[in-house]
Amino acid sequence: MSMQMDGDAMEQQGAVPSQGSPVLPCAGCGGLVPDVSGPAHPYMQASPGCWQIYGGVVARWYADPLAGPAPWHHVDAYAVQHAGGAQHDRRQRQSVAVHLITLCSLLEFGQRPEAAAARRGRTSDVVLPRVGLSDWPYLEPPRRQGPVTIADLDGVRTTAEQESVAAAWFESAWAAWAEHHAVVRTWVRVLQEVHP
Ligand SMILES: [Zn+2]
């Protein structure tokens, strides 16, 4: 009975903010974020409140770096969970493809975080000509971005918790793109041949 009531309360949280700052689901990742106005990313599709949370989390990680992939790969998870608008924007198509490739390198190909991040900027120059493309194709984003978003990292303070939630975030962001995993893996294999 009480479980049912908790569930109902959670379902209403996005639409009916209660006490404190109002929240809304981010237009990109769907995480519950503060309903604020302000700057957002020029082409990633993120609500200002989500962009604000992301900035805060990353600033904390720069000041007090975590072990593992989080400091190197937050941008990959964030980008692929805010992939809307890519059909109209070449930069967004490139962003989605390159960040999916980097996440896949990390999670499925056993690349060390530093190494996977270091080759991110060379990905387009290496892969596109070798697969006969002049530009990245449009990959239709998943309808659901996965259960873990940057909003789950807001307010997480202990190092161990941050590392484990960040790991779940990366897995969640990658898993949501299952429909495109096969093509992304072919691109990672091309990149591996040049930058093993
Ligand atoms: Zn978001």
Contact 130, 190 (CB under 8 A): yes
Per-residue confidence (pLDDT) for residue 65, from 0 to 100: 82
Spacing, Cα 53 to ligand 1 middle (Å): 9
Q: Write down the residue that tokens 């080759």 correspond to.
A: 119
Task: Give, for all 196 residues of the chain, the pLDDT tens digit.
Answer: 333 334 333 343 333 444 567 999 999 999 999 999 888 888 889 999 999 999 999 999 888 888 889 999 999 999 999 999 898 999 999 999 999 999 999 999 999 999 999 999 999 999 999 999 999 999 999 999 999 999 999 988 899 999 999 999 999 999 999 999 999 999 999 999 998 8
- For residue 108, the model assigns a pLDDT of 98
Cβ-Cβ contacts under 8 Å for 191 (sequence gap 6 or more): 101, 105, 119, 123, 126, 127
pLDDT of residue 154: 92
CA of 196 to the centre of ligand 1 (A): 32
Q: What's residue 19's pLDDT?
A: 54
Distance 151 CA to ligand 1 centre (A): 7
Domain extents in the chain: 20-194
As residues whose CB is below 5 A from the ion ligand 1, the structure lists 26, 28-29, 46, 50
> 132 CA to middle of ligand 1, Å?
33
What is the model's pTM? 0.88
Q: Which residue is it, tokens 């949370």?
A: 53
